[in-house]
């Protein structure tokens, strides 16, 4: 469970998210949608402790240890000379840290995580050789290893082919079945309607937060996007 308590986030004095309160229920599957610059990514970062609130608080009784975070794909250097297996093994960081050795069981977990996302056989390939979709699957395998009770995904399906989206959605549903809480920033409203029971519509403030069919109404969406028209600069 994550509680937002009158949370306000700022970027260089520009308000990215203003005074938002509410709760992500345990074991829920919530989409965060809104126009560009609505503060969606900033909100995720604040939940994982990478962006400090200007006011209010973001309380998670489960503590930060139990949160896994997938940043937007473009923030990772995909030309870096590292292979798939090593990338996935990073998921053990919380336990293994900077110095401890990696055990046989840890490798086993990495292999089965790769199998679950359909990337078996790619262990030794450099990540530079992967397509965007394949790389995203690898990152999903890494999240699998983190074994977190809350999973935050920032635009996980942007730029992915249909087959990858299908397999990633399946992973997400599996995580929910394992009683994890999932919060994802998404652009494609059809995907939201199809897969996410709850939605938070954000436009630098909370437009509406609740059941997806009640949030994604024509009226609400028009309201959110008309607010975006008045923003000078964009903060994402």
Given the rule CB under 8 A, which residues bind other proteins? 12, 48-50, 64-65, 67-69, 71, 75-77, 80-83, 90, 93-94, 98-99, 126, 128-129, 146
N-term to C-term CA, the chain: 24
Kindly give the residue spans of alpha helices, DSSP state H, lying in the chain. Answer: 40-47, 84-89, 93-96, 104-116, 132-146, 162-177, 189-195, 212-215, 218-228
CB of residue 157 to other proteins, shortest distance in Å: 19
State the nearest-atom distance from the C-beta of 20 to other proteins, in Å: 21
Q: Smaller CB distance to other proteins: residue 25 or 93?
A: 93
Q: How far is the CB of 98 from other proteins (least distance, A)?
A: 4
Residue (81 or 232) nearer to other proteins, CB:
81
CB of 219 to other proteins, least distance (A): 36
The three-class DSSP label of residue 20 is strand
Q: Which is nearer to other proteins, 24 or 209 (CB)?
A: 24
- Residue whose CB is less far from other proteins, 77 or 213: 77
CB of 22 to other proteins, least distance (A): 22
Can you state the percent helix, strand and coil of the chain, rounding each to 5? 40, 25, 35
Query: What phi and psi, each to the nearest 5 degrees, are found at residue 33?
Result: -125, 160
Q: Minimal distance in Å, beta carbon 84 to other proteins?
A: 12
Token representation of residue 166: 């299908």
Count of beta carbons in the 10 Å neighbourhood of residue 134: 19
Token pair of 219 as six digits = 């009226």
Which CB atom, from 77 or from 115, has the smaller least distance to other proteins? 77
Which neighbouring-strand residues pair with 154?
A: 185
Structure-token match 């630098």, residue found:
204
Select 50 or 57, whichever has its Cβ closest to other proteins: 50
φ, ψ (nearest 5 deg) of residue 83: -100, 170
């Amino acid at each position: 469970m994550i509680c937002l308590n009158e949370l306000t986030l700022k970027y260089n004095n520009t308000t990215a998210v203003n005074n938002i309160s509410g709760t992500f229920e345990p074991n829920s599957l919530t989409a965060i949608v809104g126009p560009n610059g609505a503060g969606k990514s900033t909100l995720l970062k604040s939940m994982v402790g990478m962006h400090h609130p200007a006011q209010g608080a973001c309380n998670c009784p489960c503590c930060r240890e139990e949160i896994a975070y997938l940043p937007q794909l473009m923030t990772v250097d995909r030309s870096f000379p590292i292979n798939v297996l090593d990338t996935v093994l990073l998921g053990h960081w919380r336990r293994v840290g900077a110095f401890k050795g990696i055990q046989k069981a840890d490798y086993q977990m990495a292999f089965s995580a790769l199998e679950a996302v359909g990337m078996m056989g790619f262990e030794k390939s450099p990540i530079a050789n992967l397509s965007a979709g394949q790389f995203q699957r690898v990152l999903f395998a890494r999240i699998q290893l983190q074994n977190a009770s809350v999973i935050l995904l920032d635009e996980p399906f942007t730029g992915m082919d249909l087959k990858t989206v299908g397999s990633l959605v399946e992973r997400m549903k599996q995580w929910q079945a394992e009683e994890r809480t999932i919060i994802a920033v998404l652009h494609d409203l059809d995907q939201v309607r199809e897969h996410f029971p709850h939605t938070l519509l954000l436009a630098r403030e909370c437009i509406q937060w609740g059941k997806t069919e009640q949030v994604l109404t024509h009226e609400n969406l028009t309201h959110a996007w008309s607010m975006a028209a008045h923003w000078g600069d964009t903060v994402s």
